[in-house]
Structure 1
Amino acid sequence: MARLEWGYQGRGKWCSYKRMTLIVCSINIAIALYVIRCLYTSLYLYSNNFPQHSVKYSPDQIEKMEESIRIRKTSEPTDLVKVVKEIKKELDSQERGVKLPRHVKQMMTDEILQWLRRLPANANTSEQRETLEKWRMEKLREAKLLTMGKNANLTISLDEAVMLAKAMESKWPVLLEEIGLWIPAEITSKEHDDKPEGVDEFEEDPLPGRPLPAECHTELHTDYDGAAVRWGLNHRKESAADCCQACLDQARRAKPGEKKCNIWVYCPSESGCYSPDIYEHKFQECWLKYAEKPRLNFKDKYSESYRSLHPTAPPVVPWVSGVVSI
């Protein structure tokens, strides 16, 4: 009886709770290690079977790919890309000219036009320039008052007032061009043959094409102002006589209420004609214009003061114009 009790107690000690827990944990650890080893082995085998950058091309495939690249490059619109880059460069340079917010430039344009409309209809360029200078001095004074914290008749912020004052002091001609306003130089010669003493005569080139009739009132090296009734950029004529005839025909065919052409302006130069606007004016451009009281933009030669502000302007006005009766 004593031996049976001892054997039972010995088996109880061997099968204790702690021993069973230790055995189960050891089995779990062994299984986990086995699973990890299997995963590592499979990854190693996969990386060996599918190594990176192991794709190889035959010489024929490489030649076809190179030919495809050459075809793509030759089919690229290189001229268009070049033009776009030049336009972007020009726009960037214009942006670097005078940095003013758009609403400030619009305010300037509206106020300047209001001041100029107060002038008589027959006001000359000197009176226009004088009015423009008065406006500039007035706005410059108001901008400086605003920068000093005083009341001023300006609806712009302090920073914008500082920028406007600097632009009107140091970059006034550039600023006028950017807002689309320019006033032609003062004209001293009223007639084509009326030359001041001491001024060299410039050589007259004969106009190509048929002779112009007297009714065209042709004036060489002359550019008249007026509202365009036919845009000249896409209106070409073979000769100045044809341009004048187009003006006469438009005036005869104009409907009631439409503006009738009474000014024609033609570009006879094969290298194009200069103008202070943003467009490139080419050979045989024919502008048809209307003005109740025709006024000159330029005549004969551009003045030295004008050419100092516009370096691309040629010495002689390249346009041919005429004022016809309607």
Structure 2
Amino acid sequence: MARGKWVFSYKKTTLLVCFFNIAVALYVLRSLYASLYIYSGNVSRNVALYNPDQIRKMEESMQIRREFKPVELIKWVKALEGELSSETRAVELSQHLKQNIIDEILQRLRGLNSSGADIAKEREVVENWRKGKLEEVKSALVKGTSNSSIPHEEAGILARALESDWALLCEEIGLWVPAQVANEEHDDKPEGAEEFDEEVLPGRPLSPECHAELHTDYDGSAVRWGLTHHKDSAADCCQACLDHAKHAKEGEKKCNIWVYCPSEFGCHSPDIYQHKHQECWLKFAEKPRLNFKNKYPEWYRNSHPSAPVIVPWASGITSS
């Protein structure tokens, strides 16, 4: 009987311990589940929990922001953005039509010298062509017709380019004509004063020994690298060449060729560099040789699609 009581007490104790462990495990699981439920419930209630007074204040704040929204200022900003984007847009004309345009202009300019005395005439010829072509295109648009050189679908674009985007079109086809310098007469002009000669390039007049040539690029060994050598005008570039030749040491190459970029949009060159406005290259060559003059040949433009039609550089061979 004592042994039986001992066995019965051992089983009872084991069962009680098991039941206690199960109860503790269930309690722990219930506590974890309850805490997660309470946390998620609090989060959802905190997100969407607004009383009517708070909602009313938020609506009033939104209404105030809408009333004080700078509508006019936004319109002006959008209009300004449109103008800025229009300045950087390209003239959407076919390459064939652009080629026809430059061919017509060059046909008008053929026979004119590129010397300073004819710059005004060049400008006049180009302007007369632009006005005549603009009238022709507008007439075609009004009548709803076209001709062999201007497709009807491009007539509207060409009219806008000739009227308001003329500078952009000139840049794309590589045409550069020096800006006209207005010299007004005044009553206090001294008697016997001579008229100023027409300038070949913007800036102060060039000396005769510069022998400036517009739309010309001469070859030669660089004695001064133009990428880091900028001058305010072609005359300054020529003077830099003259000074270099004057002060060159014995045995050094003396500058006898100057090449200047007068275009504000930069100048094209077949090398890998981006040539910018006012670049001044000083070169030397025993027998100066032309790279390009007036117009880039067709074979060159075929191999260099980014090349303009007209050579943008201005050059000269000094008399020293």
Specify the TM-score bucket, using the shorter chain as the normaliser: 0.3 to 0.5
